[in-house]
């Protein structure tokens, strides 16, 4: 049998394993930060209608520039962040993972480096690697906030081309202060003085769940600052694969150099447009999830767990002597959470009230046993 390593694959991919949480058939699945609410039926109907219309023209390539979709995404961002942004400052792709990939293809690459503050979203490192971008692991403090002085020193010394700031951060739930982003932005530009600077990517995949306002307004007057977003979480549409970014229009022009032509299918564009028509209903679910997230924090603490303050639709909890054994203990009770490999900690996604109750019962039982 031929194995991967028998193939002439790139050296940096040798011995690596693909990213992916286990997709197990378990009664309560709270492991991938999905929205637990299926799309409401009127929206399902609207998607069917819009896709039917799109199907009539599937013999043609889709709108390569996704103009109608980007216009609606810009209107959504303007409405929800208070920062006026137009079509020219918004770009969309197949999930924010593809947005990040396009950014690294444009601003990273061989001979260049990217930094992120770990533990954080592991795809930042993985996509860096797969685009030939060197990865620099910046650290967080014990409370999982970014150590600004330490980060600035690391940026000054290593002069990265791309800086990832995940806010709210996955897997810790930690939001990043605007002042921190500004300090890192200034440090990154200063480190690259004499060049066109460094790109700072603020990953706001969970932005809608935060107690704080979006960091999007910071892009004003900062052409090297990019905010990425997704419809996978707040819009309850992980299966759609639609991510987007907001930035100076020059950034949007730049990613055109690497995007595949017609990368966003007509079916994807039609579905995303239908979902955007139902924004208010979907944001209503976000409010429910925020309340459930806050309840998880309170109840986990009452049970005696340590909990990291969360601005996302998930909660990091611990601390366990053996987090993997605790993960298995919860799985044995029918509840799947995520072991992100952060020593002592696990992560649970806020589900429906019933799912969260089942999770909390399982944690209580686990605590009693140990």
Tell me the β-bridge partners of 15: none
Asked if 202 and 146 count as a contact pair (C-beta separation under 8 A), the reply is no
Is 258 in contact with 102 (CB distance < 8 Å)? Answer: yes
Among 72, 167, 232, 310, binds ligand PMP (CB under 6 A): 232
| Pick from 116, 65, 113: nearest CA to 88 | 65
Give me the DSSP letters along 235-286. Answer: TS-TTT--EEEE--HHHHHHHTTTSPTT-S-HHHHHHHHHHHHTHHHHHHHH
Q: Considering CB under 6 A, how many residues would be counted as binding ligand PMP? A: 13
Question: How near is the Cβ of 237 to ligand PMP at its closest, in Å?
Answer: 9
Q: Which is nearer to ligand PMP, 95 or 329 (CB)?
A: 95
CB of 168 to ligand PMP, least distance (A): 8
> CB-wise, 199 or 205, nearer to ligand PMP?
205
Task: Mark residues 75-114: x for contact with ligand PMP by CB under 6 A, - for none.
Answer: --------------------xxx-----------------
Q: For ligand PMP, which residue has the nearest CB?
A: 95
User: Nearer Cβ to ligand PMP, position 29 or 159?
Assistant: 29
308 neighbors 173 (Cβ within 8 angstroms):
yes
Among 106, 154, 167, 170, binds ligand PMP (CB under 6 A): 170
Q: Produce one character per residue of 322-337: b if its CB has 16 or more CB atoms within 10 Å, e if not.
A: ebeebbebbbebebbb
The reply on whether position 214 binds ligand PMP by CB under 6 A is no
List the interface residues with ligand PMP, window 186-205 (CB under 6 A): 203, 205
Q: For ligand PMP, which is the closer residue by CB, 115 or 191? A: 115
Cβ closest to ligand PMP, residue 159 vs residue 293: 293
DSSP code at position 142: T
Report yes or no: 39 and 236 within 8 Å, Cβ to Cβ.
yes
Q: Binding to ligand PMP by residue 339, rule CB under 6 A?
A: no
Token look-up 């990265």 returns 160
Cβ proximity of 36 and 358 under 8 Å: no
CB of 83 to ligand PMP, least distance (A): 20
Binding site for ligand PMP (CB under 6 A): 33, 95-97, 121, 166, 170, 203, 205, 230, 232, 238, 243
């Amino acid at each position: 049998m031929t194995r991967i390593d028998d193939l002439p694959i790139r050296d940096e991919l040798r011995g690596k394993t693909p990213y992916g949480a286990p997709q197990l058939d378990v009664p309560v699945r709270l492991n991938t930060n999905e929205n637990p609410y299926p799309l409401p039926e009127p929206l399902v109907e609207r998607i069917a209608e819009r896709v039917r219309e799109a199907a009539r023209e599937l013999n043609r390539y889709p709108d390569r520039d996704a103009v109608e979709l980007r216009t609606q995404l810009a209107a959504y961002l303007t409405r929800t962040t208070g920062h006026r942004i137009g079509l020219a400052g918004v770009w969309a792709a197949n999930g924010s993972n593809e947005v990040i990939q396009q950014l690294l293809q444009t601003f990273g690459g061989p001979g260049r480096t990217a930094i992120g503050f770990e533990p954080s979203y592991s795809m930042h490192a993985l996509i860096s690697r797969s685009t030939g971008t060197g990865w620099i692991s910046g650290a967080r403090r014990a409370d999982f906030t970014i150590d600004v002085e330490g980060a600035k020193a690391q940026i000054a010394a290593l002069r990265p081309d791309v800086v990832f700031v995940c806010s709210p951060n996955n897997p810790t739930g930690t939001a990043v202060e605007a002042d921190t982003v500004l300090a890192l932005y200034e440090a990154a530009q200063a480190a690259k003085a004499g060049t066109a600077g460094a790109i700072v990517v603020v990953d706001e995949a969970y932005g809608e769940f935060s107690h704080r306002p979006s960091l999007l307004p910071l892009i004003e007057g900062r052409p090297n600052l990019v905010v990425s977003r997704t419809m996978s979480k707040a819009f309850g549409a992980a299966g759609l694969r639609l991510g987007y970014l907001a930035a100076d229009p020059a950034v949007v022009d730049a990613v055109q150099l690497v995007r595949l032509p017609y990368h966003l299918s007509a079916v994807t564009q039609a579905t995303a447009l239908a979902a955007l028509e139902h924004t208010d209903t979907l944001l209503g679910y976000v409010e429910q999830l925020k309340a459930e997230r806050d309840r998880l924090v309170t109840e986990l603490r009452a049970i005696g767990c340590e909990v990291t303050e969360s601005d996302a639709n998930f909660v990091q909890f611990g601390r366990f002597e053996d987090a993997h054994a605790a993960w298995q203990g919860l799985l044995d009770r029918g509840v799947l959470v995520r072991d992100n490999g952060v020593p002592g900690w696990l992560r649970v996604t806020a589900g429906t009230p019933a799912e969260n109750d089942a999770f909390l019962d399982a944690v209580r039982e686990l605590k009693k046993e140990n």
